Chain A
Amino acid sequence: MASVHSDRAAHSAPADFTALKLLIAGGFGVGKTTLVESVSEIRPLRTEEPLTEASRPVDSLEGVATKSTTTVAMDFGRITLRDTLALYLFGTPGQDRFWFVWDELATGCLGAVVLADTRRLADCFPAIDYFESRDIPFIVAVNCFDGIRTHSQGAVARALDLTADTPVMLCDVRDRESGKDVLISLVEHVLALEETTN
């Protein structure tokens, strides 16, 4: 069957619109929505996806052929850098049962910010495992609620067992400048990885 995608001669062909995708991940209530809000124009995006193969043994869809989708809303923000270049931020759903959305979002993403709260550090383990296992560049941003710095970046890096080149930074997601710094750090990290591998 013919693909919906039109044929493209080469990826080097000049594009008249470039859309880059960044993910904002982390545990429930860590400030993902606030970060997307503070740096971009936030909008809702609804998705309805088929239940995954993995959920079949649990959900037993036998004889229930019609109940095959579930609905989830994502945070979605756009930062227009110029007429033909825009950055898209996607907040990943906090709950584990929405893994199918992660796979959708992770495809082709430039990199990810894993937001962490030092009071509940374990909440960001699944996100870190996910990006590490898929070789997706990420940084860890510790959201300092109320400006309290309870732990150093080094202590967080050790607690999360991060590789030495994974940046850890402190931030306040309510602050636009701080949020911008987080995104800049991520893109700088992607650039650094690219320059070391080439």
Chain B
Amino acid sequence: MTDQPPGPRPRTDAPDRRDPDPWADRYDEEAGPLVRLYAMTAGRARTDNGAERVDLMAIVRSTDATPRGPIPPEQRSLLAQCAQGPCPVADLASDSGLPLGVVRVLLGDLTAQGLIRITPPEYTAARKEPPSPHLLREVINGLRAL
């Protein structure tokens, strides 16, 4: 560490100076998140839309809607990942390095803003909605070919 003064690092990738990032001091490239987890969710473990119960295998998609205002950095990176294609909640949680509970709350916020859409997994209970034999055979053949 050099004798850099404490405080937010100068951001070279600031998207637009007229729209300052109110969360610029929440993340440091080397140190990672500078706030505790509950700050990211404003202390919430629950959401109004039930996002805290979203399945690990639920698929998250970006709606490509334009955000109405600045988005906190954690939501922004989740959104960036969804923009690359449909993504299960488990992948988003693992890639973000945040606990699942936090990711779920953040996904609930993004849904409420109309920025993402969450689809429940196709197979909600193995015995009730089993995947088709065709799909199972494809999985078997795919595993053999690995």
- A residues lining the B interface (CB < 8 Å): 1-6, 8, 11, 15-21, 39, 43-50, 68-69, 71, 76, 78-79, 81-82, 84-88, 90, 104-105, 107-111, 135-137, 180, 183-184, 187-188, 190-191, 194-195
- Give the residue name and chain of the A residue nearest to B51 (CB): A4
- B residues lining the A interface (CB < 8 Å): 37, 45, 47-51, 54-59, 85-88, 90-91, 93-95, 97-102, 107-108, 111, 117-127, 129-131, 133, 135-140, 142-144, 146
The 7 lowest CB-CB distance pairs between A and B, nearest first, are A81-B142, A17-B86, A47-B100, A4-B49, A48-B99, A48-B101, A191-B136
Can you identify 25 A-B contacts, CB atoms within 8 angstroms? A1-B49, A4-B51, A4-B54, A6-B117, A15-B122, A16-B86, A17-B59, A17-B87, A18-B135, A19-B90, A45-B94, A46-B97, A47-B100, A49-B100, A79-B143, A81-B143, A88-B56, A88-B90, A105-B56, A107-B124, A108-B121, A137-B126, A180-B144, A187-B140, A187-B143
Whether A4 pairs with B50 at a CB distance below 8 angstroms is yes
Whether B93 pairs with A46 at a CB distance below 8 angstroms is yes
Most buried by A among B56, B120, B121, B122: B56
- Name the prevailing secondary structure of the A interface residues: mixed
Closest chain-A Cβ to B89's Cβ sits at a distance in Å of 9
Closest chain-B Cβ to A171's Cβ sits at a distance in Å of 14
Whether B57 pairs with A88 at a CB distance below 8 angstroms is yes
A-B contact count (CB 8 A): 150
Among A1, A21, A50, A136, the residue within 8 A (CB) of B57 is A21
In the bound complex, CA of A157 to CA of B56 (Å): 32
Whether B88 pairs with A48 at a CB distance below 8 angstroms is no
Whether A8 touches B119, Cβ cut-off 8 Å, given contacts A16-B86, A46-B98, A110-B126, is: yes
Closest chain-B Cβ to A131's Cβ sits at a distance in Å of 10
Whether B139 pairs with A81 at a CB distance below 8 angstroms is yes
